[in-house]
Amino acid sequence: LARSRMSTVYMPGDKITMLPDELVDVFTLGAGQSRPALSLYATLNTADWSVVSTETKVEAITMASNLRHNDLDALVTEENLANDAGDYPHKAEIARIWQWALVLEQGRMAKRESFGMKPEQNNRVDFNFYVEDDVVSIVRRKRGAPLDKMVAELMIFANSTWGKLMAEHGI
């Protein structure tokens, strides 16, 4: 099934999963659910946000909560993060991740420029889709918003960390 579908297709109010629903249900990150995970832990020096060490674990983790962009984008803004304003779940943790994400992005941009590449452009638009009473609403959302940036930078960090680990082991 996965080979024939190749990816999950998202559409307003629905999705067609790449994998069978029974398998998706085993890995869905529902609040309070225990799920298998490949976790990357990073110990940071918060004076300069440098990485002191990393550790990879295969483990079962319990989801504290499931945070969704469309619920938090209006609250987790650059202005609110800069002024410690707003009220939203995991505020302190999100603020720390934001600080690290900014440093990660700055480092990536410096590396891009050192290779003669132009800085990334964040002028594209993303959209959220909502379905209520069979009416579809399409709402613009800012690309490069803090939550986008945090997810992107930490995924790039995880991918590059694990890529380096695999290279070191000849994989």
12 exposure class (CB count in 10 Å sphere: 0-12, 13-18, 19+): middle
Q: Give this prediction's pTM.
A: 0.80
pLDDT digit string (tens) for the chain, length 171 residues: 556 667 777 766 677 888 888 888 888 888 999 999 999 999 999 999 999 999 999 999 999 998 888 789 889 999 999 999 999 999 999 999 999 999 999 999 999 999 999 887 777 777 777 778 888 888 887 777 899 899 999 999 999 999 999 999 999
- Nearest-CA neighbor of 76 among 85, 127, 139, 65? 85
pLDDT value of position 165? 94
Name the E strands within 17-132: 34-45, 50-62, 125-132
Render 10-41 in DSSP notation, one character per residue. Answer: EETTEEE-SS-HHHHHHH---TT-EEEEEEEE
